[in-house]
Structure 1
Amino acid sequence: MSLSAHFRITRPHNAVVAGLAAALGYLIATGSLVPGVLLLVVIVACITAGGNVLNDVFDIDIDRINRPDRPIPSGAMTLGGARLFAVVLFLVGVTTSFFTNLLCLGFAVVNTLILIAYAVRLKKTPLFGNIAVAYLAASVFLFGGAFAGIDGIVQNLPLAAITFLATVARELLKDAEDVDGDAAGGARTLPMIVGVRKTAIVAFACACGAVIASYLPVGNWWGFLYLIGIGVVDLIILAGAGKGLLCRTPACVRSSKATSLLRIGMFSALLVFTIAALT
């Protein structure tokens, strides 16, 4: 068991980005940053990393097919070692949240429980697993806003709504890409039940919902410049979901790069919200 394996299994880029998203949530809520925001970054990064590790523990059969290079299927880390590592990461994240406030502590505890439920059961439950992932992604901004109180949560609702709906769309299309591996691993996803085409239709509807949500801040928070930036973001999100809509097979969804476009759209939305919060 190597340090490199411990590092890789946390998906460090994913964990750090999630932590920074919490800082963005606070920035959107207040227009500034304070040293205490570093606690938010640590909490979210640790809990996210713990979820990533635990997910790999329960995904071992699927990863042997889809991702044999990952630490557990490759033999670089044992299942027992990975379980213990996940517990340590969760404990560090939740314990650190005691130094914030009750709202943040509540988010930390609830999200940790959802991450555990996702790895153990929800991942193999059609649609509910996708919704859980989307909630976790969106709630990071609410968590950051919660550091500033209830008003901070309200300020982050538009970005949380965009993130939730766009993530549902992306997760559904990712499931459409991975039908073969998921079936071999015992997962039961929406594309396996209703097919790739109908799944893509649901994903496109969610993307349209994200576009509608993106215009919520125009009147009450930001104005014309935000409108221009978010318009570009919306085009990217719709293009990604639209590419998926044209597909009827997993191979087509993979080659369409629909999920990559949706990912770009979500990161672009973060950039637009960051600039809007600073101006």
Structure 2
Amino acid sequence: MSAAAFIRITRPHNAVVAGLTALIGYLIATGTLTPPSLLLAVIVALITAGGNVINDVCDVDIDRINRPDRPIPAGEISLGGARAYAAALFIAGIAIAALTPPLCLAIAVINSSILVAYAVRLKRIPVLGNGAVAYLTASVFLFGGAFAGIEGLVRNLSLAAITFLATIARELLKDAEDVDGDAAGGARTLPMIVGVQRTGIFAFACACGAVVVSLLPSGDWWGLLYLAGIAVVDLVILFGAFRGLRCTTPGCVRESGATSILRMGMFAALAVFAIAAVI
């Protein structure tokens, strides 16, 4: 077992970005950052890392075929060692969350449980797995806001809802891209049940829902400047979802770049909310 393997299995870039996102959630809720709020980044990074490790534990058989270079199939970390490591990361994250408001602690415990459930079972259930990913992505903003109390959480509800709906749209289109590979791996996704075209319609409907939520009055920053910025974001989200809506085959969805465009739209929405909160 090497130290490098223990770092690599956590997908550190992914964990750090998630931690920084929690800080942005606090910034949006309060308009500022404080030294204690740095705990948010540490907690989210640890729990995200734990989720990444337990995901590799549950996918070890698939990774032996598709990703033999990953630490567990490569023999750099034993299966038992990875399980213990995941548990330690979750425990550390929750222990630090105990130093934060009860609302933050509750979200940390719930999200840790969902990450384990997703790795073990939920990812294999159509729509429910997509919903779990969408919730986990959106809840980082709720976690950041909750550090400022229930009022902070409420201030972040709009961004969380936009993120939830846009993430579902993106996850469904990602499934549409991967129909061939998922079929070969024995997975069961929504596009495999209802087809790529109907999945695109559902994804577009979710994107439209995100746009509607973005225009609802929310927060002290809601006004002409916010609406001007979010209108651009909404056009990007709708454009991405529309690109997927036109497709009837997995290859078409891949070539459309719909999932990448939706990801850009989500990052742009985050930027608009952050800027609106501090000016």
TM-score (norm 2): 0.94
Does the alignment pair 1:170 with 2:170?
A: yes
Q: Which one-letter code corresponds to 1:6 in the other structure?
A: F
List aligned pairs for 1:1-279, cutoff 5 A: 1-64=1-64, 66-217=66-217, 221-279=221-279
Conservation of the 8 A alpha-carbon contact between 1:141 and 1:159? yes
TM-fit CA distance, 1:255: 1.9
Cα RMSD after superposing both structures: 1.7
DSSP-derived class of the 2:215 partner: coil
Q: Which one-letter code corresponds to 1:32 in the other structure?
A: T
Listed as ranges, the gaps of 5+ residues in structure 2 are none
TM-fit CA distance, 1:237: 1.0
Conservation of the 8 A alpha-carbon contact between 1:158 and 1:217? no
Conservation of the 8 A alpha-carbon contact between 2:46 and 2:93? yes
Q: Distance in 2 between matches of 1:68 and 1:265?
A: 33
Instruction: Note closer, same or farther for the CA distance 1:8–1:257 as it changes in structure 2 (3 Å cut).
Output: farther
Listed as ranges, the gaps of 5+ residues in structure 1 are none
Q: Distance in 1 between matches of 2:219 and 2:103?
A: 27
TM-fit CA distance, 1:203: 0.7
DSSP-derived class of the 2:108 partner: helix
Q: Which one-letter code corresponds to 1:107 in the other structure?
A: I
Conservation of the 8 A alpha-carbon contact between 2:155 and 2:218? no
Conservation of the 8 A alpha-carbon contact between 1:42 and 1:93? yes
TM-fit CA distance, 1:182: 2.2
Q: Which one-letter code corresponds to 1:49 in the other structure?
A: A
Structure 1 stretches of 4+ with a deviation exceeding 6 A read none
TM-score (norm 1): 0.94
In terms of mean alpha carbon deviation, does 231-240 or 200-209 score higher? 231-240
Conservation of the 8 A alpha-carbon contact between 1:233 and 1:269? yes
Q: Distance in 2 between matches of 1:129 and 1:49?
A: 19
Conservation of the 8 A alpha-carbon contact between 1:123 and 1:187? no
TM-fit CA distance, 1:99: 0.4
Conservation of the 8 A alpha-carbon contact between 1:134 and 1:167? yes
Conservation of the 8 A alpha-carbon contact between 1:66 and 1:181? no
Q: Distance in 2 between matches of 1:120 and 1:98?
A: 26
Q: Distance in 2 between matches of 1:30 and 1:18?
A: 19
Q: Distance in 2 between matches of 1:147 and 1:156?
A: 11
Conservation of the 8 A alpha-carbon contact between 2:47 and 2:112? yes
CA displacement, residues 113-133 of structure 1 (integer Å, 9 cap, x when unaligned): 011111111100010000011
Q: Distance in 1 between matches of 2:82 and 2:219?
A: 48
TM-fit CA distance, 1:240: 1.3
Conservation of the 8 A alpha-carbon contact between 2:221 and 2:277? no
Conservation of the 8 A alpha-carbon contact between 1:240 and 1:262? yes
Percent identity, aligned pairs only, is 72
TM-fit CA distance, 1:187: 2.2
TM-fit CA distance, 1:74: 4.2
CA displacement, residues 160-191 of structure 1 (integer Å, 9 cap, x when unaligned): 00000000011111111222332333321111
Q: Which one-letter code corresponds to 2:57 in the other structure?
A: V
Conservation of the 8 A alpha-carbon contact between 1:90 and 1:112? yes
Instruction: Note closer, same or farther for the CA distance 1:63–1:166 as it changes in structure 2 (3 Å cut).
Output: farther
